[in-house]
Amino acid sequence: MISAVNRAIHAGRDRSYNSLLQTDAAINPGNSGGPLVDITGKIIGINVAIFSTSGGYQGIGFAVPSNTARAIVGDLIQGKKILYGWLGINVQDLDEELARYFGLPDNRGVVIAKVLPGGPAEKAGVKDGDVIRRYQDQPVQNVRGLLGAVARTKVGTKVTLDLIRDKKPLKVAVDVTEKPKDLSGFSERSGQAWQGLEVSELTDELIRRYRLPDRRGVVVTHVESDSPADEAGLRAGDVINEINRQPVANLNDYSQAIQNVKGDSLVRTLRGYAVIKASLVPPTGNSP
């Protein structure tokens, strides 16, 4: 049974999947990368991940649609390396409140929550707080749409971003590069990605940006769309000061707290408590 389409999941620090099929097929460790077939035996997808608290099948699996795989299968058969485009930015969806703040007529587009130091966007002059409205002259509807467009862009292409900065339109040309396997060198103060969350120490700039009362805790700088953190209602600007009753005063406390997490997590922010469900994890390490 296909219970949902166009699902997006975040699994680990640098691994995310978009436009997935959600299925109740029994995907277990060892059969990741195998086919998902319909009742007539036709391949409709490639199994890639499961929702699990134990590492085994629990009724929810995810597969890459066959149409998506078809676009690169020829290169894979020839042994070519598959490259995915990368801009070096963390982004979030616009809501009505953010759209009003940026002086926009609608909430179409994405906000750049962080420009990664040393990445192609920073080199092109893109800044935190810029709003991307168009990519290569095509409207940007949301984070999922932008991620897909960038991933499909050939590495080495110079693309045009239509931005809004300080309520004024701006065009910037950015060289799309290959996404690095290790992004640690592009992050100065951000904490490791966990359950779709990226966080940062509370700096003077962030305290002013999010109008925070003090320095205790870590601030959420990005929430991956459709991730466990997103499902829990967390959003950029939230300040986390406790995880599973363990106080979080800084980035070191946060790192220690998430290392101790097993199963669901009770997270306290300045807005109150939220429960983050157990992570979505790939069943094997060699998923496509």
Averaged over 76-94, what is the pLDDT? 84
* Model pLDDT, residue 55: 60
Last residue of a domain, one of 130, 158, 178: 178
| Statement to judge: residues 197 and 164 lie in one domain | no
Report yes or no on 288 lying in a domain: no
Question: Sign of the C-alpha dihedral, residues 187, 189, 191, 196?
Answer: negative
Angstrom distance (rounded) from CA 229 to CA 243:
13
Report yes or no on 183 lying in a domain: no
Q: What is the pLDDT of residues 211-254, one digit of tens each?
A: 777 778 998 888 887 788 888 999 888 899 999 989 998 888 88
CATH code for position 277? 2.30.42.10
| Statement to judge: residues 36 and 99 lie in one domain | no
Report yes or no on 127 lying in a domain: yes
| Statement to judge: residues 127 and 202 lie in one domain | no
Last residue of a domain, one of 77, 104, 122: 77
Last residue of a domain, one of 128, 157, 178: 178
Report yes or no on 265 lying in a domain: yes
Report yes or no on 184 lying in a domain: no
| Other beta carbons less than 10 A from residue 252's beta carbon | 12
| Other beta carbons less than 10 A from residue 106's beta carbon | 9
Q: What is the pLDDT of residues 51-70, one digit of tens each?
A: 766 666 667 888 888 887 87
| Statement to judge: residues 153 and 196 lie in one domain | no
Range of the domain at 73: 2-77
Angstrom distance (rounded) from CA 15 to CA 166:
33
| Statement to judge: residues 99 and 149 lie in one domain | yes
Angstrom distance (rounded) from CA 139 to CA 108:
8
Encoded amino acid at 173, one letter:
A
Ranked by mean pLDDT, the top range of 18-27, 194-203, 267-276 is 267-276
Report yes or no on 255 lying in a domain: yes
| Other beta carbons less than 10 A from residue 15's beta carbon | 13
| Statement to judge: residues 136 and 160 lie in one domain | yes
Range from 38-47, 76-85, 123-132, 167-176 carrying the lowest mean pLDDT? 76-85
Res 284 pLDDT > 50: no
| Statement to judge: residues 90 and 173 lie in one domain | yes
CATH code for position 40? 2.40.10.10
* Model pLDDT, residue 285: 35
Angstrom distance (rounded) from CA 167 to CA 260:
43
Total number of domains in the chain: 3
Report yes or no on 287 lying in a domain: no
Res 111 pLDDT > 80: yes
Three-state SS for the chain is CEEEEEEEEECCCCCEEEEEEEECCCCCCCCCCCEEECCCCCEEEEEEEEECCCCCCCCCEEEEEHHHHHHHHHHHHCCCCCCCEECCEEEEECCHHHHHHCCCCCCCCEEEEEECCCCHHHHHCCCCCCEEEEECCEECCCHHHHHHHHHHCCCCCEEEEEEEECCEEEEEEEECEECCCCCHHHCCCECCCECCEEEECCCHHHHHHHCCCCCCCEEEEEECCCCHHHHCCCCCCCEEEEECCEECCCHHHHHHHHHCCCCCEEEEECCEEEEECCCEECCCCCCC
Report yes or no on 286 lying in a domain: no
CA 66 to chain centre: 22
Say what the pTM is: 0.54
Question: Sign of the C-alpha dihedral, residues 83, 89, 94, 100?
Answer: negative
| Statement to judge: residues 9 and 45 lie in one domain | yes
